[in-house]
Amino acid sequence: MRRKIVYKGRVQGVGFRWNAKDSVSGLHITGYVKNLSDGSVELLLEGELRNIIEAQAAVDRRMRGYWISRNHEDLGGEAHWDKFSIHS
């Protein structure tokens, strides 16, 4: 399964990408986190549904107070990434 989540709020310049990567480490998740030009952050999670839910909840908790809204979209297809990384 693949899920794209876009976080909006004060999410750039606060260590969001680094904290997201640290939050999902050890959860059998691949994908990436990156800043978007509109000031939001995109998180792409790939893995089993239970791991994706756990990873999203971990990022949500850790970065609470920085994001004011988030939207997610479940995507079809196979995993594209072999690890989780920070993209610029």
The residues carrying an active-site annotation are 17, 35
Q: Which amino acid is at 18?
A: W
Residue 33 and residue 81 in contact, taking contact as beta carbons nearer than 8 Å: no
Give Cα separations from 83 to 40, 46, 67 (angstroms): 22, 9, 25
